[in-house]
């Protein structure tokens, strides 16, 4: 069967973008241009290259799919509006927030904010991975409630939206039953530039009060300018296969983010029977449901108490519940079904 062509635009080839490419390729012949938009110095050249890429390919397609709003989304939405093509923008998190207290969010940057606003205005539909990216109230980070979401930060966005949660390839993250869980172990995943947003300092602080527990940081080699106890171990960058082994042998996964658009890593860990402990922000409590624990305030004593409660819980039951919750709610096929129905209709 002849596949329709679709232009797919993204800022960087993240792991979940690679998953999306595989998903889309089932029904579409993708036209895409791998390009890294993270360097502001390359922005003019990237825009020029993208202009000619779109000019060359726009008449071949009926649909443009963009992942993340930002510098890379303006020209696709402009071309779509000019040439009568449908443009769909999947929004993930940083493209929906301005959070200067933790130096996070594309909407803090005036030019990026302008590009993003125009993109959302010109798009046919916006596809957030959680409702919290449209609007959310954060009572976790500080005493004063903070409001986030593109409908809060950007004005005059009347474009319709449809929430499509992320999906996982379930079989990629099912743990080996022969790998045994190690008692009192915790793991979290973050990169060096995510320490503040992902709650690294809170975890390290709590580790000083929990000497019988071990806390593993995947994705970083060390935590700069911070002395931490022996029960905090940085694992460095891990391949998905090695990360799966670490998930498989740790009991708990920590996602103590101050803002989190969705939380793919926590879903991966839950599939490996990690019991989740999350902050009360965005979509995280919905992912966890009754299969884990929620920290309602960014407070080290409350976190230590929550860990001690978790350690005394029925972990075997929670491990099963965590895995089943992701299998039921966030398989890749469920995302594919909703996404394809929107792209085709």
Domain assignments of the chain as residue spans, ordered by start: 4-167+332-344, 170-329
Among residues of the chain, what percentage have pLDDT more than 90? 89
Report whether pLDDT(227) > 80: no
Predicted confidence (pLDDT) at residue 33 exceeds the cutoff of 80: yes
At the second CATH level, the architecture of 4-167+332-344 is: 3-Layer(aba) Sandwich (3.40)
Architecture of the domain spanning 170-329: 3-Layer(aba) Sandwich (3.40)
Residue 184, token pair as written in the block: 């009192």
DSSP β-ladder status, 125-128 and 250-255 = unpaired
- Residue 214: CB atoms within 10 A of its CB come to 19
In terms of DSSP H, where are the helices of the chain?
15-25, 43-57, 71-83, 110-122, 150-153, 200-207, 240-249, 264-271, 284-288, 300-311, 315-329, 332-344
The stretch 143-172 carries a mean pLDDT of: 95
Q: What is the 3-state secondary structure (H, E, C) of 263-294?
A: CHHHHHHHHCCCEEEEECCCCHHHHHCCCCEE
Tell me the pLDDT tens digit for each residue of 68-88: 999 999 999 999 999 999 999
Confidence of residue 343 (pLDDT cuts 50, 70, 90): very high
pLDDT (tens digit, 9 = 90+) per residue, 272-328?
Answer: 999 999 999 999 999 999 999 999 999 999 999 999 999 999 999 999 999 999 999
Asked if residue 35 has pLDDT above 90, the reply is no
Is 170-329 in the same CATH topology as 4-167+332-344? yes
pTM of the model: 0.93
The chain-wide mean pLDDT, for the chain, equals: 95
Q: What is the dihedral of CA 136, 140, 142, 148, to 10 degrees?
A: -10
Q: Supply 80's token pair.
A: 């779509």
Query: Which pLDDT does position 223 carry in this prediction?
Result: 75
CA distances, 232 to each of 24, 246, 258, 284, 343 (Å): 40, 15, 21, 24, 45
Q: What is the mean pLDDT of residues 144-158?
A: 95
Six-digit token string for 202 = 């809170």
pLDDT tier, 63 (very low <50, low <70, confident <90, very high otherwise): very high
Average pLDDT of span 186-191: 96
By the 8 A CB rule, do 58 and 84 touch? no
pLDDT level of residue 38 (50, 70, 90 thresholds): confident
Higher-confidence position of 222 and 162: 162
Residue 225 has a pLDDT of 61
pLDDT digits (tens, 9 = 90+) for 104-128: 999 999 999 999 999 999 999 999 9
pLDDT at 1: 61
Q: How far apart are CA 99 and CA 205, in angstroms?
A: 23
DSSP 8-class letter at 131: G
Mean pLDDT lowest among 131-140, 177-186, 225-234, 329-338:
225-234
């Amino acid at each position: 069967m002849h596949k329709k062509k679709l232009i797919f635009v993204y800022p960087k080839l993240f792991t979940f973008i690679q998953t999306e490419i595989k998903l889309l390729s089932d029904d579409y012949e993708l036209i895409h241009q791998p390009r890294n938009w993270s360097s502001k110095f390359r922005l003019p050249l990237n825009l020029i290259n993208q202009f000619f890429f779109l000019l060359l390919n726009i008449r071949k397609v009926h649909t443009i799919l963009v992942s993340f709003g930002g510098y890379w989304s303006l020209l696709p939405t402009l071309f779509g509006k000019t040439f009568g093509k449908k443009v769909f923008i999947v929004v993930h998190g940083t493209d929906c927030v301005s959070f200067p207290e933790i130096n996070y969010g594309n909407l803090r940057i005036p030019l990026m904010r302008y590009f993003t606003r125009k993109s959302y205005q010109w798009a046919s539909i916006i596809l957030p991975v959680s409702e919290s990216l449209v609007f959310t109230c954060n009572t976790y980070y500080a005493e004063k409630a903070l409001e986030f979401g593109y409908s809060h930060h950007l004005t005059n966005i009347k474009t319709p939206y449809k929430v499509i949660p992320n999906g996982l390839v379930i079989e990629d993250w099912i743990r080996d039953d022969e790998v045994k869980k190690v008692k009192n172990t915790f793991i979290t995943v973050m990169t060096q530039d995510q320490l503040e947003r992902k709650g690294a300092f809170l975890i390290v602080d709590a580790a000083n009060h929990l000497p019988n527990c071990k806390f593993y940081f995947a994705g970083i080699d060390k935590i700069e300018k911070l002395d931490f106890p022996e029960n905090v171990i940085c694992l460095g960058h891990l391949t998905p296969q090695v990360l799966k082994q670490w998930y498989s042998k740790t009991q708990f996964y920590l996602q103590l983010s101050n803002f989190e658009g969705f939380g793919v890593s926590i879903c991966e860990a839950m599939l490996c029977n990690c019991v989740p402990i999350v902050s009360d922000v965005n979509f995280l409590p919905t992912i966890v449901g009754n299969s884990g624990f929620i920290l309602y305030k960014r407070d080290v004593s409350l976190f230590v108490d929550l860990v001690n409660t978790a350690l005394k819980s029925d972990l075997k039951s929670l491990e099963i519940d965590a895995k089943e919750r992701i299998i039921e709610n966030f398989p890749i096929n469920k995302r594919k079904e909703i996404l394809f129905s929107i792209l085709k209709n």
